[in-house]
Chains A and B, each alone.
Chain A
Amino acid sequence: MKSDLWGRGIAAGAFAGLIGGALSAAVLSRLGSLPPTASLVRADAATAGFVLHVALGIVLGAGFGVLVWHQRAGAGETLFWGIAWGALWWFLGPLTLMSLLLLGFLAWDLHSAQEAFPTLLGYLLYGGVTGISLAVIRRERTPTGAARPGALIRGILAGTTGGVFLGVLLDAQGLLSGIPITMGSGLSGWPLIIVSGAVAGGGYALLYPRPPEGTGPGLIRGMVYGFCWWVVGSLIPSVARVVGEAGQAGPVQADFSMLPGYLLFGAATAVLYAWMDGLGRVLFSDMVPPRDTEGVGTEGLRALGRGAVAGLIGGTLFALVIVQIGGLSAMARLVGSTSIWGLIAQVLIAQAVGISYGFLFRRQSYDVGSGLGWGISYGFFWWVLGPLTLAPLFLGSAPRWRVEAAAELFPYLIGHLAFGAALGVTFHLLEARHNPWWIPRSEAEAARVALRREQVLTSAPALWAIVAAIALTLPVLLSR
C-alpha cells in the first residue's frame, strides 16, 4: 500500500502535472502572462519561463498524485481536487512563496492579489487539466467506465435546457449579445448559448456517467462545474482582451457579470441531469432498491420537518445579520410593506429554503463538518439565486449580475453563508439525534456507514472549499 502510494502516486501525478503544466503554459504564453513565474529565475526568455512552468507543474503534480491517490479516481472527482489544488497553490505560490523569495515580503494585500489575478487563471487551468489527466491515467482503477450514450444524451439535454434558462436570464439584462465570442467560432447570441450548453452538459455526463450522490450534492458539483466553464468561457477571453489591449498582463477586470449565470447554469444542468437519470431509473429499470431507503413519503416528510426547524434557526441568524447591516427596509420593499413584515417574510423564505435543503441534502452529512460544507455551499447558491437574481426579478427589473451589485450585496453574502452554516449544522444535528448512522450497530449498518464515509473520498470536501473560496475571494478581487 505504502510503496503503491509513493511510487505510482508520484509517477502518475507527475505525468498528469506534465500535461497540465504544458497545456496551461501554452495557454498562458499565448496570453503573454508567463513572466511572473519566469521571474522566479530572473529569466525573461519565454522558453526558460515555459520550461520552468512545466517543471513546477511536474513537481506539484507529483504532490497532487500522492494526496489524491486514495481518493476516488473518477474524472468528476479529480477535476475538482485539481482545481482546489491549483487554487491553493495560487495562494501559496504567487502570493506567498514567490513574493517572499523574490521581494522578501508577503504579497497578501489587495493590490498584489489583483495584480496576480491573471495567474490564478493559469493555476486553475493547470489544476483542472492535471486532475482530468490523472483520472485518465488511473482509468483502469475506476470500474464505472465510460459514459454510455444514454447518459451522454441526458447530459446534452440537461445542458441545453440549462443553456436556455441562462439565455433567458442573460437576455433580460441585455447581456446576451455581449457574450464574448469564444475560440474563434462564428457563433454568438442564442445559438452560442445553446451550443455551449449542450457541450457543457455533455461534458458533465462524461465526468459523471452515473449522477453523483443525491440531488443537493449534485447541485453543488454543478455549480463548481459552472465555475470551471466561467474560467474557460469568460475569464480566458477577457484576460486575452486585456493582454491584447495593453500588450502585457495587468489587473484584469474580469467579466463578473457572467459568473452568476455560469454558476446557475451549472447547478441547473446537474440537477436536471440527476433528475432525468432518476426518472429513467424509476420508469425503466427494475433495480432492487437500496437497503436503507424508507420511501419518499417517510424520508421526505421527516426531511421537511427537520429542514423547517433548521431553516428557522438559520433564518434567525440571517435576520441578525440583516438587522445589523440595516437591510430590513430592502427586504420590506420586496414584499411592499413595513420592516416587521419584511422580517417575517425573511424568516418564511429562510424556512422554505431550509425545507428545500432538507429534501435535497437529506442523509448527506456524516459529521458537523460535512453539514457545514453542504450548508455553506447551499447558502452561497442562494445568494446567487436570491439577491442577485430572483429578488430583482420579483421587483420587476432584470437580475443584477454586475460587480457593483455584488459589492453592494457583500454583507448579504456573509448573511447567506451564516444562514447556510447554521442550516447545515442544525439539520445534521437533527438528523443525527435519533439516527446516528455513523455508529455501526450491526453488519448491515456498518455497510451503510461505510457508504456514507465514501463521501469523503469523493471530491465533496474540495467542493466545499472551492465554493467558500469563490464566495469570499472573487467579489473582493474583482471589485474596482
Chain B
Amino acid sequence: MSAQGLRASVAGLAGLPQGGAGVIPDLTAAAFIGAGFGLLFRYQPLAYAATISSGVLYGLLWWILGPLTLAPLLAGRGPTWTLPEASAALPSLVGHVVFGAITGLAFYVFVAAYVRRHSERTPVPDAPVPTTQIVILGGGFGGVSAAQRLEQLLARRPSTSIVLVSQSNYLLFTPMLAEVASSGLEAQHISAPVRAALPHTRFLRGEVEAIDVGGRTVTVRESASATAEMLPYDHLILALGSVPNFYGLPGLAQHAFTLKTLDDATRLRNHIIGLLEAADVERDEKRRRDLLTFVVAGGGFAGTEMVAELFDLVHGVLRYYPRVTPGEARFILVHSGARILPEISPALAEYAQRRLAARGIEFLLNARVAGASADGVRLSGQRRLPTRTLVWTAGNQPHPLLGTVPCDHASSGAVVADATLRVDGLERVWAVGDCAQIPDLNAEGRPCPPTAQHALRQGQVAAENVGAVLAGRAARPFRFRTIGTLVALGHRTAVAEIRGWKFSGFLAWLMWRTVYLSKLPGLEKKVRVALDWAIELFFPRDIVLTGSGPTPTLAQTIGAQRDETAPVASAGPEEGRA
C-alpha cells in the first residue's frame, strides 16, 4: 500500500513536470519534502495520531505550493490559483493527502525507534543540567542589560545558566531619582523588578562578600544571618557601579544626604517635608531660616537637577504652610568649578545657571564643602552655612569590593579593562559601567564617561563578547559615541545637547521627558510614570509624610491608651516592631 501510494503521488508532489522523470528524482524530491516535515514539527512530542494528521496538513500545504504554485511557475506562466486549475490538480491533492499521512506515520515509526534505542543508553532528563555558568554582579543598567542580551543570545542553549547578584531586586532608573526626591513621582514607579525583566536568569538578592578569581567563585550572602553561598563561574561580569565618595570630610557620612538609591530619595523627600512642618510651627525667625536653607554640593547633572527639583518641591507645596513666606526659603548650589554643568557646552551651562538664578537659586562657585554638622555646612575658607539639609552629589567612587580583585586599578579605584571590556590580566572577568575604566576608542583612548547610556551599551557588548568567547570567536571592542546629554531644570525647562545640537527651554524639557520615558524599563512603569506626570499637571505635589517621623502608629496610640486604663493588659505584637 505504502509503495503504491508513495510512487503515484510523488510525481506531482513538488509540481515537478511529470512524465519522463524517473523514480530517482521523484524520491529525491519526496525525501527533501519529508525532511521539511521533520524540520517543522521537530518539537512535537511523539503521538501516532498527531504526527499523522500533521503529516496530512503538511501534504495539503505542499499541494498549494507544488501543483498550484510551482508547477505553473516552472511551466513559464504565473500561478493563477483559480478553481478550474485546482480542479484539474485534484488527483494530486488526493496523492498529497496519502503522501502526508504516510510521511507522518513513517516519521513516527523511525523517530520512535531511534528514541527508544538511544534512550536506553542515555536517559534524557527533562531539565538539562547547565554546564556553563555566567555570573553578573550588580543590578544596574550595565548588569541588567548584559543579562538581557545574554538571555537573547543563549536562549536556545539550556546548557548555559545566567546568575545575577544584586543588593536590590529592582533596576533603578536613576535619571528620575531627583523627581522622586521632589515628590513628583512615586518611588516604586521608577524601578523595574529584575526578576520580571529577566525571566531566564537566576536572580540572587544579596551582598557579594568576596570574589575569588583564582578559584573562579563568588561568595554571596543573602543577609548577615544567612549562610554564604559559593557561586562558581565560567565568566564573570562586574557591574557593581559606584558608591558616594565623601573624601573623608568630617561629618559628611553622618549628616549629608546622598542620591543613589530609592531609599535615599524617599528619605530626602520626607526630610524636606518634615522641615517644612517644623518651620511652620517655629516662631524664632533665625531658626526658621536655618530650617529653610537647602544646600546641594556638586554642580554636575545630579546636583543641578536636584537643586531645581528641591526648589519646585518647596514652592509647589508652600501654600499648605501659611506661616512660611516664600522669601524665607534659600537654595544654594555649591560647586568647586568656575561654572556648573562641566559636562555640557558653556553656552548651555550659562543658560541653565541664568534660568536657575532668576528663580532665586544661589550659586557658590569655586567653593568646596569642607565639613558638615547637624546644623550647618562648613565651606573651604572657613565660611559656614547654617542649614539642616546638605545633599551630596560631588563625588562617587567605584564599589570598594573591586579593590579585592587582583588586577590593575585606576586612581579612582576602578578596575582597568581593555576595549573589549575584558579586565586586564584576567581571562574570564569582564567589567562594565561606573566600576570600570574603559578606553573610549572614539576619544583617543580617554576613559568612557560614567553615564547610563555607556553602561547600557557596555553591558550589551560584554554579553556579546562572552557569547563570542563561548562560541570560540573573538571578542569585539566597545565603540560608542555619546548620543547626548539632557538636564532638567524644573519649571518645564531643560537643556539638551544631542550630537552637538543644542536645545533649551520647553522644547528641551519635552525632549527630556520623551527620551527618559522611552528609556524607562518596562511598559507598566512607563504607563505609571506617564500617569504620574499627567496627574502632576492638574494636582499639587503630595506632602504625605511617611516612615521616618517619630509619629506613633494608630495601634501604638490605642495600645498606650489601653495601657493607661488597664495596666495589666499585655503588650501587643506591634511593640516588638515599633
Task: List residues of chain A with CB under 8 Å of any chain B CB.
Answer: 66-68, 70-71, 81, 84-85, 88, 91-92, 95-97, 100, 106, 108-110, 113, 294, 297-298, 301, 321, 324-325, 366-370, 372-373, 376, 407-408, 410-411, 413-415, 417-418, 421, 433-436, 438-443, 445-446, 453, 456-457, 461-462, 464-465, 468-469, 472-473, 475-476, 479
Q: Is the CB of B41 within 8 A of A436?
A: no
Point out the residues of chain A lying under 8 angstroms from B552, CB to CB.
none
Q: List 20 A-B contacts (CB under 8 A).
A: A71-B49, A81-B53, A84-B49, A85-B49, A91-B94, A110-B88, A367-B40, A369-B58, A376-B57, A407-B83, A413-B81, A415-B81, A435-B155, A439-B156, A440-B158, A443-B127, A461-B51, A461-B53, A465-B60, A476-B86
Q: Is the CB of A324 within 8 A of B78?
A: yes
Q: Is the CB of B91 within 8 A of A453?
A: no
Point out the residues of chain B lying under 8 angstroms from A325, CB to CB.
80-82
**CB nearest neighbor in B for A106:** B8
Which of A70, A109, A368, A469 has a CB less than 8 Å from the CB of B97?
A469
Question: Smallest distance from the beta carbon of A476 to chain B beta carbons, Å?
Answer: 5
Q: Is the CB of A440 within 8 A of B93?
A: no
B444 at the interface (CB under 8 A from A): no
Task: List residues of chain B with CB under 8 Å of any chain A CB.
Answer: 1, 4-5, 8, 39-45, 47-54, 56-58, 60-61, 63-64, 68, 78-83, 86-88, 90-95, 97-98, 101, 126-128, 130, 151-152, 155-156, 158, 161, 196, 199-200, 523-524, 527
Q: A67-B48, A109-B91, A325-B80 are in contact. Are A472 and B64 (CB under 8 A)?
A: yes
Point out the residues of chain B lying under 8 angstroms from A96, CB to CB.
5, 94, 98
Q: Is the CB of B40 within 8 A of A440?
A: no
**CB nearest neighbor in B for A421:** B61
Q: Is the CB of B53 within 8 A of A66?
A: no
Point out the residues of chain A lying under 8 angstroms from B47, CB to CB.
70-71, 456-457
Q: Is the CB of A476 within 8 A of B78?
A: no
A376 to B58, CA, bound (A): 11
**CB nearest neighbor in A for B51:** A461
Q: Is the CB of B41 within 8 A of A367?
A: yes
Q: Is the CB of B97 within 8 A of A410?
A: no
Q: A108-B95, A436-B155, A461-B57 are in contact. Are A476 and B50 (CB under 8 A)?
A: no
**CB nearest neighbor in A for B9:** A108
Point out the residues of chain A lying under 8 angstroms from B5, CB to CB.
96
Q: A96-B94, A435-B199, A462-B49 are in contact. Are A373 and B87 (CB under 8 A)?
A: no
Q: Is the CB of B524 within 8 A of A372?
A: no
Q: Is the CB of A456 within 8 A of B44?
A: yes
**CB nearest neighbor in B for A458:** B50
Point out the residues of chain B lying under 8 angstroms from A407, CB to CB.
83
A410 to B79, CA, bound (A): 13
**CB nearest neighbor in A for B42:** A367
**Which of the listed residues B51, B151, B155, B523 has the most CB atoms from chain A within 10 Å of its own CB?**
B155
Q: Is the CB of B126 within 8 A of A446?
A: yes
Point out the residues of chain A lying under 8 angstroms from B8, CB to CB.
106
Question: Smallest distance from the beta carbon of A131 to chain B beta carbons, Å?
Answer: 11
Question: Smallest distance from the beta carbon of A5 to chain B beta carbons, Å?
Answer: 10
Point out the residues of chain B lying under 8 angstroms from A297, CB to CB.
523-524, 527
Q: Is the CB of A100 within 8 A of B86?
A: no
A297 to B523, CA, bound (A): 9
Question: Smallest distance from the beta carbon of B75 to chain A beta carbons, Å?
Answer: 15
Which of A67, A100, A113 has a CB less than 8 Å from the CB of B52?
A67
Q: Is the CB of B80 within 8 A of A109?
A: no
Q: Is the CB of A440 within 8 A of B127?
A: yes
